[in-house]
Each structure stands twice: as structure tokens, then as C-alpha cells.
A and B are shown apart, each in its own frame.
Chain A
Amino acid sequence: MNEATDNIIVFDKVNKWYGNNFHVLRDINLNVRRGERIVVCGPSGSGKSTLIRCINRLEEHQEGHLIVDGTELTDDVKAIDKIRKEVGMVFQQFNLFPHLTVLENLTLSPMYVGKMPKKEAEEKAMTQLKRVRIAEQAGKYPLQLSGGQQQRVAIARALCLTPKIMLFDEPTSALDPEMIKEVLDVMVEMANQGITMICVTHEMGFAKAVADRVIFMDQGQIVEQNTPHEFFNNPQTDRSKDFLSKILGH
């Protein structure tokens, strides 16, 4: 294997198809260092979601190697279980469990996956809820909360497994403008605590503030990667120039 020990995620010539003829990820090579914070952007349909969903095997790749924290992702269920315990994910549509209270949403995985006693799991959950500043809502059901609150609960839920890697798939794009800030604030705080983060987002302010690297994707390929400063001020390719002019244009 070719991964260096400080690379927590290694994509080695990863290819993926949907069905027989839709080539969605093409020769992806990407190394993510431990503790690195990466923002992924690119036009709609370029394969950003697919890329990060491969990391916890919500999607499977067909060619190449994908190694997460030293374990290669294959059909091996044990490997998948191990990796899912180390990788937290936050979705665009929150995906909270509506039939469980906020607290139950958070304790579910520690109790049934982490085999933690209920009491301990609840304490841990409350710590995370405090961290996202929503502890007073613990007894409510998700549908009783606002979008921004729901997304913060979702972040807290992902944190309850103490993951080494956090994946965010457009965490703020289903939110009203005034709620975006409260979620981004929580994410910035997390970013400053040293967890490895890969975040699909078009929030350029967030990228500038916390990202170590911006990855720009188009048509299933990584077109360009650079520091935020370089990427925004000095894009290298016509595709990224075009993309930046569109999202920064108005």
C-alpha cells in the first residue's frame, strides 16, 4: 500500500460509475492529511457528494483504492463498520430521526454501536448539545425545531461517536440566511479543534476562514486544488475562473 502514515484518507485512482455508462468519478487521486480541513466546491452534478459519500461507503467505488485511516474500503463489512465509527457525516437535509427525541437521536449510536451504558451516552450527548449551544432542546422532537437548530443537532449527533473525520455535504444550503450563520459558527469552532474535515459547500467565507485547501471539481474530476487564498485570488483553470465568476459575481 502506498499511503503515508500521516494521510488519513487516500484516494488512489478511484473510479465510479452509476449504472453502466455514467462515469461519475474519474481517476480521483487525493491525499488528506490528519487534521486537514478541506472544502470541496464545483458546479452542480460534478460529483462532490458522490466523492465524500465514498469515504464512508454510502456509495461504493468500482476501481482504484480508497484507504481511510489505514483500512482499505472493500466489500468487507467489518472494515466498513470500523470506518463508519470513525467518520461522522452531516447531510444537507439534516436526516434526523423524527420519531426520536433530540437526546435519543444523539444516544442511539453510542449505545448500540459504541455499546456505551445509557447514562454515559446521555452525558456525552449533553456535552455535544452544549457544544452546539442547543442543550435546552434535548427533550424535543426534531420537527419541533428550526432548520438551523436541526442541523446543529445533526452535527452534535455525528460528533457523539468521537469521529476522526467529519464529512459535511452542503450543510447550510437548505437553511434560511439568518440560520446559516449559527451553523457555520459551530463548524468554525469545530475546525479550530483539530478534527479532519471535508466540507462540500459554496460558503466562500467559511472556506477562506478555515480551509487548509480548496478542491475544485468538475465532471467527476478534481480540476484544481490550492490554498483558499490562491484559489480565490488566482484560479488556474478556465473552469474554476468561470465557476468563481458565477458564485462571486452577484
Chain B
Amino acid sequence: MAETIIFQSLPARPAPVNTEGLVPWVKNNLFANWQSTLTTLIVGGLLLFYIPQFINWAVLTATTVPNADACRAEGVGACWGVITEKYRLIIFGRYPFEEQWRPLVATILMVALLVMSCTRMFWKKWLVAVWIVVLAAFFILMYGGMFGLTEVQTDRWGGLPLTIMLATLSIVLCFPIAICVALGRRSNLPAIRTFCTIYVELIRGVPLISVLFMASFMFPLFMPAGVTIDVLIRVLVGVTLFAAAYMAEVIRGGLQAMPKGQAEAAASLGLSYWQTQFKIILPQALAMVVPGIMNNFIGLFKDTSLVYIVSLYELTGSLGLALNSDADWRPYKLEGYLFIVAIYFAFCFAMSRYSLWIEKQVNKSKLR
């Protein structure tokens, strides 16, 4: 008889420690060792201390009644009443009160246009026509003087419509200029190259404020008598030229990174200089610098707030306008600022999310 093999059972072991879910994540990321535990405790403590205070101020003890006396009462936190009271002044600036539906419609049209332009579905030839129509509608609504709309001079324009209009137009206009300047700096023609280099260096050497100052106050001095150009246009040109110089350098970075073989292959196929740039070089160079370009756009959007220096009251400027002259409400500037911060943030955050999406789109050909 063969010898029987004796079965030996393995001793039971505990199940492996769970490595997924909230608890292990907290353990691994917040309390992995004593340094990280200490940091977590300090940061957590500060948050525990300040967040309730902020919530208490901003929500629990806040008041939304548009009444300055209610705000001054004992124990009252944030005074959102200032927004309820002044929001139309902040958002539309000095635009005539009864006519404010016009900038409202104009702004909605403009934002809709921007959203449309950012959506792949609408990247068709007719989008250009939509742009022209919407821009025309924007200016007709804002300026009036036809279709029975009363005329509103540009110095009364203000607030969000002005911010959006300045940002949109300067972004749209500075982009082609920047492309030309970036190409010009790499041109074979010394005159063009020198001109573009001087332009970029000159603009980068001065702050935006001084450009705006010159556009607004010095430029008219050099104009022949009787010729006036609207301050809004002068400022728009100033902002655009300023932004274009920075944008040109970002784009030039992308051009610089292009391998020489691409242009040579295009040339060997008989493509002209401009065909080579537009079909081959720029699409690839721009795709490389999408984050830099979006960075500049976001910066430009916020830089428009500087036009208050030449008495154009865009969003930031109109907040000052709304509160500075009103002794009752002046103390509640903080609430006002938080309000426009929220507006700026909404736009900038949308832009930066969009940047990520665009990056994904343009890199599709690189996926294997």
C-alpha cells in the first residue's frame, strides 16, 4: 500500500489592507509620516479656524437688504445689500439707466458669440458672417442713433459690456498682428526684421498704463486740428498693439521650435512662403504654444481693467464709480470687490478650462 500524503492546511491570513477608497487615500497622502502629519494638522487647523469665520461673515450673519442702516447694525457680517442696491451701476457703469436693456442684450449677444466660436460644431465659414453681424448689432445697440434708439456717447459706456468688448476685440485683433510680427522677426528681409524687433522691444519696455496714457492724452496732440478719434478706439488700438507684442513672442517661440525639414518639404512641393506658413508651419507652431497663448488671453482680459486710468469705466472702474461717490455705501467696497472677483473668475476659469480642451484637440494627430 502506498504511503498516504498528509494534507497540511495553510494558516489563515488577514485580508490585504484596503488600498483604495477615502481612508487609505487620507492615510497615504495626509498622514504618511510625521512631517506630512504636522503639515496636515497646521493647515487643517487654520482652515478650521478661518472657514467658519468666513462662512459666518459671508452667509450666516450677512444681509442682502439694500439698506445701509441695516448693514451698520450690530453683529451684521457681509453687506450684500450693496450689490442689490448698486449692481446695475457696477455692471453697466454710467450707461443711461432707462436704456440699460441695450447693453444687457448686447452683452448676451457677445457672450453667445464667444461661446459659439469656441464650439467645434460652429467652426464653419459662415461664423465670420455671424461675427460681423453680432459686432454690428453690439455697436448699434450700444451707440444707438438709429432704429429709434437714442444716441449714447462712448464715454457713457461702462461696466461688463465694455470689459467684454475691449477684451474680445483686442484678442481678436492682436492675434493676426502677433502672427505677422512673429513671422516678421524671422523674415529674410532686414528692414522687416528690424521693424518687428524694434516694435516688440519698444512695447515690452513700457507699462500698459503709459501706452494707455499716450493713446488717450498725447495722441490727440499730434492730430491735425478738427480731427478727433474716439477715445475708445484709441484705447482699443493701444491695448491691441500692447498685447500683440507679447503674443508675438509666444508665437515666435513656437516657430523657433519647428524643425527646418517641414519648411523645406513644403518648399520642395512648390508651396509659396505664405502657403507654407499658413498650411504647415503656423498650425504646428501654434499648437505647441496653446498654453502660452491662453495665458496671454487671460492676462489681456484682466488688463482691460487698466482703462479706468483714461476715464473709461469698465467693470473695475464702474465699481469705484458706484461706491466712491456714495458715502453710505463706501464702507462696503470689500463686498463689491468680491462680486466683481466672482465675475472675473468665472470668465478666466472658463478660458483656462477651454485652453485644456483646445490642447487636446490640437494634439489629436500626435496620438498613436
State whether the Cβ of B228 lies closer than 8 Å to any Cβ in chain A.
no
CB contacts (< 8 Å) of B264 on chain A: these are 58, 91, 95
Shortest Cβ-Cβ A-B pairs, 5 listed: A95-B265, A109-B269, A95-B261, A89-B268, A113-B270
Total contacting residues, chain A, CB less than 8 A: 27
- Interface flag for B275 (CB, 8 Å): yes
Give CA–CA (A87, B262) in the complex, Å: 17
Scan B329-368; emit 1 where CB is below 8 A from any A CB, else 0: 0000000000000000000000000000000001001101
Nearest CB on A from B59, distance (A): 50
- Nearest-CB residue, chain B, relative to A93: B261
Complexed CA–CA distance, A89 and B263 (Å): 13
Cβ–Cβ < 8 Å partners of A123 in chain B: none
Residue of B261, B279, B283 near A112 (CB, 8 A) is: B279
Q: Is A56 an interface residue (CB 8 A)?
A: yes
| A84 interfacial contact with B, CB 8 Å | yes
Which residues of A from 50 to 106 have beta carbons under 8 Å from B?
Answer: 56, 58, 81, 84-85, 87-89, 91, 93, 95-101
**Are A99 and B287 in contact, CB atoms less than 8 angstroms apart?**
yes
Interface residue? A143 (CB, 8 A): yes
Instruction: Flag if A81 contacts B272 (CB, 8 Å).
Output: yes
Return the CB mask of B267-285 against A: 1 if under 8 Å, else 0: 1111110010001100110
Question: Could you say which residues of chain B place their CB within 8 Å of the CB of A56?
Answer: 267-268
- Out of B265, B268, B271, name the residue touching A87 (CB < 8 Å): B268
Verify if A108 is at the interface (C-beta below 8 Å from B).
Answer: yes
Residue-wise, chain B 235-278 has the 8 Å CB interface mask toward A (1 for contact) of: 00000000000000000000000010110111111111001000
Contact B261 A91 (CB under 8 A): yes
B271 engages A98 (CB within 8 Å):
no
A141 to chain B, nearest CB (A): 4
Q: Enumerate chain B residues within 8 angstroms of A113, measured Cβ to Cβ.
A: 269-271, 275
Docked-complex contact A108 and B267, CB < 8 angstroms? no
A 190-211 binary contact with B (CB < 8 Å = 1; else 0): 0000000000000000000000
Residue of B265, B284, B287 ringed by the most chain A CB atoms within 10 A: B265
B residues whose Cβ falls under 8 Å from a Cβ of A:
259, 261-262, 264-272, 275, 279-280, 283-284, 287, 362, 365-366, 368
Q: Is A144 an interface residue (CB 8 A)?
A: yes
- Please determine whether B283 and A99 come into contact, CB atoms closer than 8 angstroms: yes
7 A–B contacts, CB within 8 A, in A order:
A93-B261, A95-B265, A97-B262, A97-B284, A98-B284, A99-B365, A108-B269
- For residue A37, CB closer than 8 A to chain B, the reply is no
Q: Flag whether A213 is at the interface (Cβ < 8 A).
A: no
Query: Are B267 and A84 interface neighbours, CB within 8 A?
Result: yes
> Using Cβ atoms and an 8 Å threshold, which residues of chain A touch B275?
112-113
Q: Specify the chain A residue showing the minimal Cβ separation from B269.
A: A109
The interface residues of chain B lying within 8 Å CB-to-CB of A84 are: 267-270
Q: Are A58 and B268 in contact (CB under 8 A)?
A: yes
> Does A161 sit at the interface, judged by CB under 8 A?
yes
**Contact indicator A81/B365 (Cβ below 8 Å):** no
Instruction: Give bound CA distance, A112 to B264, whole Å.
Output: 16
Q: Is the CB of B265 within 8 A of A97?
A: yes
Q: Smallest CB-CB separation from B283: which chain A residue?
A: A99
Q: Are B269 and A81 in contact (CB under 8 A)?
A: no
Q: Which residue in chain A gives the minimum CB-CB distance to B280?
A: A97
Asked whether B271 lies within 8 Å of A112 as measured between CB atoms, the reply is yes
- Contact check: which of A101, A144, A161 meets B269 at CB < 8 Å? A161
Q: Once the chains are docked, how many angstroms separate the CA of A89 from the CA of B267?
A: 10
